[in-house]
Amino acid sequence: MLKIENLKASVDGKAILKGINLEVRAGEVHAIMGPNGSGKSTLANVLAGRADYQVDEGRVEFRDKDLFEMAPEDRAREGLFLAFQYPVEIPGVSNVYFLKTALNEKRKYQGLEEMDAAAFLKLVRERMKIVDLDKSLLNRSVNEGFSGGEKKRNEIFHMAVLEPTLALLDETDSGLDIDALRIVASGVNQLRNEKNAFIIVTHYQRLLEYIEPDFVHVLHDGRIIRSGGKELALELEEKGYDWLKQGSGESNG
Amino acid sequence: MDNLPGLSAHYGQILETLLNQQDNNHPDQSVLRKNALQRLMETGFPSTRDEEWRFTNTKILNETAFRLADTVTNANASQEQNRFDNWPGIRLVFVNGQFMAGLSKNMDPNDRRLSIENTAFIADSEPDGFGLLHLALQNSGLTIRIADNVQLSEPIHLLFIASGADNEMMTPVCDINAGRNSGLTIIENFISSDQNTNFTNTHTRIRLSENASVRHIKIINENIRSYHYGQLRVDQERDSRFQSLAFLFGNKLNRNNISIILNGSGCESLMDGVFAGHRNQHHDVHTLIHHASPHCRSHELYRGILADESSAVFSGKIHVHPDAQKTDALQSNNCLLLSDQATINTKPQLEIYADDVKCTHGATVGQLNEDQIYYLRSRGIPEKKARNILTYAFAREIIEQVETEEVRNYIDQLLLNRLEEDMDFHK
């Protein structure tokens, strides 16, 4: 589904990603962990198409297409979804209008008919339950005045409506209390199936107690220095990142 | 006007006609008209040397000898009004500045709640050149009186259709009087029936008696070759509430002056508006609010959307008189520049002569937020649509204040047409 080969990227001329290799297949959940500044968010945003990130080398194939040939909106309509670390507030645009527009743009792209208001509302009601979203947040402006937890839940709600093939969760767990974390994790678990895949970028091992990953990758200084199963996350929690940094030379999985 | 002999001769001819006319019914008006024209010939139209006109070039209006349009309706004009058939309430139609009772709708002479007479004549005390021109040449306009204690639930729609030949001018006038404890919404809607270069020079006065409540909505969608000079003068007695909503889309050049006087305590006055410019349009909004009494509140928010090589001026003056203690005045102007060639000159002015007041003002000028655009795009919304959604949202806060759904949808559509976008924001 996603194949990243030797990806190098920079911001303002500063190299951040220094050769990433990663393959994600349908049905898999990958966790990417790493200390601050290791390039986790850069990776997520380079894949989603943020303009101020410069791709210097390498290629990424998404569903057999060259990802970097596509505009951000086309990547989304092909099935990529980024849950933002800091969801953006959009005053004056209602959450429900935004979502309906996004869904119908995706459907148009796929050659499907636009969804009418009644069918859309039915879908929305159903998907709101997945993250226990307060009904009042539907008609409010996107993220405006939402609490931190509401913003993150809203991201997962968007994901639930748009049903991406590949979802990138950029530190969705950061800043969440344990109840909100459980709701977000349970949302992801309900959406998980054999046809889609998740890349979960996180700073904390905590999230992985609720979402069980198939693979864990440790990012350090723009490279994946270790890959393993879910037990790698536990080991990291015990020993800290320094343990891996020391041995990064020989242990690239 | 000495440096423009052609134009001077043009107005000289009009003056001569006026001098030869005997208006025995209104001898006072006759004198005022002649004096105004004489003064205009001495002082001329304002130019960019005048502080209040620094950023609005009126050269074209100075150089064009606009003739008064005749009032014969053409077929286009009568057709145009069908577009508004779904609007509720009374519709009063003006063609080329002249009230046309035959084209109007839902007028009931036996309605005791209000009276409508074709008698209005307004003479401001300190008019500028365009005001003088209007004073001299104004049509016989409408005087509307709402009786005490009457609440009109449906709006009164004044539809002004500019339908003149090239270089013709129309000079409508309206005098609206709201009785004690009365309430009404008045819509002034300006359109063109074709693509000719017309000049609308219009004057409206609204007087609110004690505890009256008036909402005034002005919509301009005259064609992009036309000119518009509009004066709105509002006098408020104690405890009255006034709201002005302005939606400015049309014209090659327009200037809208709003002047409000708060004569009694406990008044509230709201002034909000949207101006949207594209191509080489120029919008000029000048507002002035006199806080002449204590315990009054005023609130003003104008948003501008400027694309291509369009330009705009916003000047908002708040004058707090010495005894207007406990004044609460807020003013804000935000402008969105959608191209590098678009320009805005924004000038808030506070003149405060009382010491126990709360007055704030602010102005922002900026572009669309790139983070918001990225967020929308990353959910699958194409870039152009993302930009249009954000631009629309910027104006939405003001459009939403229009309570009558049919009117709000019309304004929505004007903005969406401008953005060349098809959106169903309210569903």
Taking only the tens place, the pLDDT of each residue in B183-236 is 999 999 999 999 999 999 999 999 999 999 999 999 999 999 999 999 999 999
- Residue B238 sits in the same domain as residue B386: no
Separation CA A61–CA B31 (nearest Å) = 83
What topology is assigned to A2-87+155-246 in CATH? Rossmann fold (3.40.50)
Is residue A17's pLDDT more than 80? yes
Q: Copy the structure tokens of residue A153.
A: 């839940």
pLDDT digits (tens, 9 = 90+) for A114-161: 999 999 999 999 999 998 898 999 999 999 999 999 999 999 999 999
Contact B375 A91 (CB under 8 A): no
pLDDT digits (tens, 9 = 90+) for B29-68: 888 998 998 898 888 889 888 889 999 988 888 888 888 8
- Residue B269 sits in the same domain as residue B301: yes
B259: nearest Cα among B216, B209, B294: B216
Give the model's pLDDT for residue A55. 95
Partner residue opposite A84 with nearest CB, options B375, B380, B423: B375
> What integer is the mean pLDDT of B335-354?
95
- Residue B378 to chain A, least CA–CA distance (Å): 5
β-strands B227-236, B241-248 pairing: unpaired
Give the model's pLDDT for residue B74. 67
Identify which of A34-38, B149-153, B421-425 has the greatest average pLDDT: B149-153
Separation CA A77–CA B377 (nearest Å) = 10
Give the model's pLDDT for residue B4. 55
- Residue B404 sits in the same domain as residue B265: no
* Residue B217 CA: distances (Å) to CA of B154, B177, B404: 13, 16, 11
Give the model's pLDDT for residue A234. 84
pLDDT digits (tens, 9 = 90+) for A66-101: 999 999 999 999 999 999 999 999 999 999 999 999
Contact B383 A73 (CB under 8 A): yes
Enumerate residues 6+ apart whose C-beta is below 8 A from B111. Answer: none
Question: What are the E-state strand segments in chain A?
Answer: 2-11, 14-24, 29-33, 54-62, 65-66, 80-83, 90-94, 141-142, 166-170, 197-202, 215-220, 223-228
151-170 in A: which are within 8 Å (CB) of B? 158, 162
- Specify which residues A227 forms β-bridges with: A217
- Residue B97 sits in the same domain as residue B242: yes
Using a CB–CB cutoff of 8 Å, tell me whether A118 touches chain B.
Answer: no
Domain assignment present for residue B187? The answer is yes
- Residue B416 sits in the same domain as residue B299: no
Contact B379 A158 (CB under 8 A): yes
- Residue B406 sits in the same domain as residue B419: yes
Contact A106 B371 (CB under 8 A): no
Give the model's pLDDT for residue B44. 86
Contact B389 A105 (CB under 8 A): no
> What would the DSSP string read from start to end of A117-145?
HHHHHHHHHHHHGGGT--THHHHSEETTT
**Which residue of B lies nearest to A99 if distances are taken between CA atoms?**
B379
Partner residue opposite A88 with nearest CB, options B372, B382, B397: B372
- Residue A201 to chain B, least CA–CA distance (Å): 17
CB atoms within 10 A of CB B102: 8
Three-state secondary structure string covering B7-75: HHHHHHHHHHHHHHCCCCCCHHHHHHHHHHHHHHHHHCCCCCCCHHHCCCCCHHHHHCCCEECCCCCCH
- Residue B375 to chain A, least CA–CA distance (Å): 7
- Residue B342 sits in the same domain as residue B313: yes
Using a CB–CB cutoff of 8 Å, tell me whether A243 touches chain B.
Answer: no
Residue span of the structural domain in which B424 resides: 369-427
- Residue B356 sits in the same domain as residue B394: no
> What integer is the mean pLDDT of B239-255?
97
Partner residue opposite A73 with nearest CB, options B372, B380, B390: B380
How many separate domains does chain B show?
2
Domain boundary among B320, B350, B368: B368
Using a CB–CB cutoff of 8 Å, tell me whether A211 touches chain B.
Answer: no
Residue numbers in B near A106 (CB within 8 A): 380
- Residue B250 sits in the same domain as residue B392: no
Q: Residue B18 — pLDDT band, cuts 50, 70, 90? A: confident
Separation CA A40–CA A91 (nearest Å) = 29
Separation CA A225–CA A238 (nearest Å) = 18
Domain assignment present for residue B2? The answer is no
Chain pair A-B, CB pairs under 8 angstroms? 77
Give the model's pLDDT for residue B427. 44
Domain assignment present for residue B186? The answer is yes
Domain assignment present for residue B307? The answer is yes
Residue numbers in B near A75 (CB within 8 A): 378
- Residue B100 sits in the same domain as residue B227: yes
Average pLDDT, chain B: 92
Enumerate residues 6+ apart whose C-beta is below 8 A from B288. Answer: B257, B258, B259, B260, B316, B317, B319
First to last CA, chain B: 55
> What would the DSSP string read from start to end of B354-393?
-SS-EEEEEEEEE---HHHHHHHHTTT--HHHHHHHHHHH
Contact B385 A77 (CB under 8 A): no
Domain boundary among B368, B384, B411: B368
Partner residue opposite B382 with nearest CB, options A90, A103, A105: A105
- Residue B90 sits in the same domain as residue B125: yes
- Residue B299 sits in the same domain as residue B401: no
pLDDT digits (tens, 9 = 90+) for A219-236: 999 999 999 998 888 888
